[in-house]
Structure 1
């Protein structure tokens, strides 16, 4: 790729937003400081039902966040109440996120790497404010190994914010790890689970064991988290063409380990040092007929931080280092490939907050990152990213808050790709509280999103199953010639929230130049899916999220209802000014949940239902339409607690779940070209837990 000269061109929107900049405006609070709605229902000592807590600052908060950028918080109590087993289980109740159920999707679905936000790419994941990544080519990340026992809360920022680099993705998920209790030298939870699902030729067996322990000794705080998971699946894929129908059995054995020790030392009441280590290993061995697939991803990451807090002012210095290695081996009588890739990443960052009074504060910082990717079949790719940001907020009346931020980024790549560029991204947000219940929040932003490393690598990852390399099940590869996306976004949320619940309605629109889409082309007799730049794309939609909570009654009953509907329309315009809808974005998704707790019996239960409609989309540069079927998925969880810290949970996943079906029909006469079906596997998992 030729070198791109640095650009300082600002659009009319950039100039307009920058003109409002004031050095005395306030910033968003630091990532590890939560602010929740003071009107949210309080949890009684015996109550285990919790509700979603939305943005806004309570008067009694030690360091209230006056930012106009909306934030949603999912508490650990809520995750335990719903019987969540992973981060994805908690996020499925948040509007805007599309996550395939395990075993569904053209490749079987998966963890955080399979998540989509409002029909676009995956959101940014942080752990205690530090970015985490998946494998070199989009493999599982450490997020997929974190259990609710490790988590204090999850902070979800779904609108652009320069402080956490979400200005391009518009979604940041910050996982705050659990803090030890003040009066405990050692406490924790041990959990073991076993699940089995079997019907006809389909079978799934799951086993897991996890340990979470934490404690405090004077100025020292320490914790350790460990889990081990095994998952064996036998599934059936059915493929059909105009000439024949075939069934293919696939056997997959997966195992995963994660170890995460953490230590803090409090220098005084205002300062502390933190060190976190994450070690993760994932292995997958699969076979179908005469083809075998062996994948392995292991990583080790060290995060260290110095934190200082003095009332509303704070400073944070972050240093991190990570090494990841990912291998993939595919063998068959007709084909054999082996890929070995290693990523070394180093990071340094500073975040500062200065609070001038109750109505004005400023946040600023810098982020420096360097990485090197080595591959056995491609040139080494070196990358350096640098960023400076400032974001301020001004509460100029009792009911109005204005937030203005800007982020300047530089990026340099060498080796496989020779690339240099810089971008300026402004954000303007406004919040108006009509009264104690009604509010209107609006956000306007402009941003650039550079391609991820795994999108640039030309390495081809071979698909499995009997139709591997077909148009319905293509191989995967990257594109070293990708250009960054330029995004202009507008969002507005009308909210009505009370102690018993509320409704939030969000309308959004994003104009994207050089939109990156995964398209399928034929290469050497096989179809390969690679990301390419389309000329332009427009995504827009409406999200409705609602909740209702019945606080625990005198008889011990408590109830929570939640539901969400998220619509998205992604329209693409190519270089020839031809328009079509994005091929893999569903027009809407819907979900609903019910949680019930009866305290005298210490029983809590929940049921969650997800729905995706059937939709048909044209494939880019192909004479076929692809239709994905209507899909329904139901999850049920029941927990019974006993004396002495014992508890047991029965979780039923993919109940009433429909198979994932895709078919390609000719655009000229509607005839079938080919189709494939991945059978869903309902499963039941029994877990036993002991607190100590």
Structure 2
């Protein structure tokens, strides 16, 4: 087994010890200053429940959340979010340090957001500080709706600690400062894609009330090709199978989202805030798959055509009440309701090698979920330089799903006749406490403790009742130390306990069958005995700030995960089945480097260029899988970004960014491997300000149009199987008109 992870652990533990000793030294050095240190300033007003925000800068300094908060996080402002004219938040996030996006297409949404290069749901995505509602997709949010994005590397008690890799908190626009009327329209197109889109923002203030409404929508049509090659070899190396499939998908789509908000300031000084988020998304793709064989047989279904009609709607509404007490105390509580509906109609025709119809099947399915959330926090200064906060976070939901397989009788073939129904209930309750302490003017400390319990029950007409219950206690510690005799240098350290609970789909012991069943297209089945994955983690970083918008940082992390959940593909009877299993422990560690600065900071006569770059290197290994290459699920070993923005004149701004991430070989189990190619994305834009209220934007996304290839390998000793999937891509061109009315 590779010794690299052990080396990484020793290095990070040594770093942690060194930082701790340095902090103890600082406490002694600044003991006299501590006695005279001013009380912690009031918590900065935030649009969502703030992370631990101990400020150690003087009141005369400009507040910078990334620089001054004890809790380590990166804050992407609204200005940065809108700079490149993105229509999908995934394109904004892929430029951020330590964040990658798997799958999807540039400018067209989709893909999984990952921190530390980790997939498998290790990155938590929050909406206004709460877990995203069921069925929520980042694609349903336009960047114009977002006030800021918080990339939280180390967990705090106030938010759920289901964040082994980290948390991305999307905060929708809330504050209304001035009346606003803004309209943006765009047209995006590629060789296989076209989509007009619009965004409307309206906001105003009327005495003690303010309101805002954001409406975003787009329609379009896509078509794309994909290719798959299946190969098999016997123990002597002779090829026994070579066949190839061509897949074609095309169809229309439409998305609409609305986010109204109303704020009231009551005569007592209390505030009430109502915010609602609604989205409706529909897609109607048709597909066609054709297999040809050079060596060996065709699959059971040599060709098939499918038609899918999918409609998803999501709604969340909440009411937030804030009451301030004399003496600096504050109660902040919020009650919310959410709803989710999904309706699918899937129709499939399949044929054998003689083009004879062998399958005619309709699969309708639906899912409906209703739930509520209730959160609250009381915070107050309770001792010199201390701010205490205690609170709760509760949620409950009920889900109902139905799925049928209705096959038409065909001579010689047994049709599928299936009707599945199940109901599930889930409940979550968390209690937390945290203390924010300014030890000295240059040293702040955060202590947190969160207990979170989860319970899931389900019953269906084709499986026995299932019950899964777990609880996790998470102690948390973070500290920020601004180095003596320096206004620009600081170090951070965090020790956290996080976890990942199994989601409902992974718990239900129901098998969903696939067409042309095999190792790469197995049936999917849940495991009701799954336990949460538990992780201890440390994070360290050094930061140097040397001018407005200029900084350098280096950070390192390590995670130890127990009860690691991996995908296990096995053959049960005549069919291949994939199910999740807890399989021992896993470790991950790595480092990140970041730099950003305006070139004129060093050369006064230089062009007005803003430069930024970041690099992340990640390692991991799974104890239950033989090495080498036994990495955590789909982890990205190396990712890097480089970007430049040039203000060429008062009217013109141009820029671009280049994102790079490696793939490589990964061992999934004793007999299974996967391989992914390197991915390179180049995005370019030009912005022309015609008038102070009208501007035109031109963008090119994925300009390199690099195809993506994924390979699955199986070596059972008796046979070697190789499945190669190729996904061609095309550049996306966009023109957008932005007007303030």
TM-score of the pair, normalised by structure 2? 0.78
**How far apart are the structure 1 equivalents of 2:145 and 2:600?**
26
Instruction: Please list the CA deviations of residues 73-116 of structure 1 after superposition, one character each: whole Å capped at 9, or x if unmatched.
Output: 11111222232323222222222222035348xxx995375545
Check if 1:304 corresponds to 2:352.
Answer: no
Structure 1 position 265 matched with structure 2 position 264: yes
1:520 aligns with 2:520: no
- Please point out which of 314, 325, 341 is paired with 1:325: 341
Closer, same or farther in 2 for the Cα pair 1:504/1:469, shift >3 Å?
farther
Which residue number in structure 2 is paired with residue 369 of structure 1? 395
Aligned partner of 2:277 in structure 1 is 278
Corresponding residue for 2:293? none
Where does residue 404 of structure 1 map in the other structure?
447
**Which residue, out of 709, 720, 724, partners 1:661?**
709
Unaligned runs of 5+ residues in structure 2 are 1-19, 21-38, 232-241, 289-304, 350-358, 403-419, 460-465
CA deviation string 1:103-135 (max 9, x = no partner):
48xxx9953755455414253333333332342
Question: Which residue does 1:126 correspond to in 2?
Answer: 126
For residues 736 and 685 of structure 2, the distance between their equivalents in structure 1, rounded to whole angstroms, comes to 11
Where does 1:549-588 land on structure 2 (aligned, <5 Å)? 549-550=598-599, 558-574=608-624, 580-588=630-638
Superposed counterparts of 1:216-235, under 5 Å: 216-235=205-224
Over 3 Å counting, the alpha-carbon distance change for 1:666 and 1:170 in structure 2 is closer
Contact 1:569 1:587 in 2 (8 A): yes
- 2-structure distance, mates of 1:369, 1:172: 19
Query: Is 1:238 the counterpart of 2:287 in the alignment?
Result: no
Tell me which residue corresponds to 2:470.
Answer: 421
**1:85 aligns to what?**
87
Distance 2:55 2:202 in 1: 30
- 1:337 is the counterpart of 2:386: no
Greater C-alpha Rg? 2
Distance in 2 (alpha carbons) for counterparts of 1:77 and 1:538: 37
Cα RMSD after superposing both structures: 3.4
- CA distance 1:654–1:300, shift in 2 (3 Å): same
Post-superposition shift, 1:236?
0.9
Q: Which runs of 5+ in 1 are unaligned?
A: 1-16, 18-23, 39-53
1:73 corresponds, among 72, 75, 78, to 75
Relative to structure 1, is the Cα distance of residues 630 and 644 closer, same or farther in structure 2, using a 3 angstrom cutoff?
closer
Greater Cα offset, 439-448 or 477-486: 477-486
Structure 2 residue 303 is matched with structure 1 residue 314: no
In 2, Cα distance between equivalents of 1:123 and 1:625: 23
**Aligned partner of residue 156 in structure 2, secondary structure:** coil
- Aligned in 2, Cα 1:27/1:494: closer, same or farther, shift over 3 Å? farther
Which of 180, 188, 191 lines up with 2:181 in the alignment?
188
- Partner Cα separation in structure 2 for residue 687 and residue 236 of structure 1: 28
Name 1:649's counterpart in structure 2.
Answer: 697
Equivalences for residues 539-554 of structure 1 within 5 A: 539-550=588-599
Alpha-carbon distance in 2 for matches of 1:25, 1:440: 20
Partner residue, 2:639? 589
1:612 aligns with 661
1:380 is aligned to 423
- TM-score for both structures, normalised by structure 1: 0.83
Q: In structure 2, the residue corresponding to 1:119 is in which secondary structure? A: coil
1:161 aligned onto 2:156: yes
1:133-180 deviations in Å (ceiling 9; x for gaps): 342xxxx42x32222322222222211111111364352333333346
Q: Contact 1:590 / 1:611 at 8 angstroms: preserved in 2?
A: yes
The CA deviation string for residues 251-291 of structure 1, in whole angstroms up to 9 with x for no partner, is 13221111111111111584211111111111122121212
Q: How many residues matched?
A: 635
C-alpha distance in 2, partners of 1:26/1:569? 40
Match of 2:79, SS state, is helix
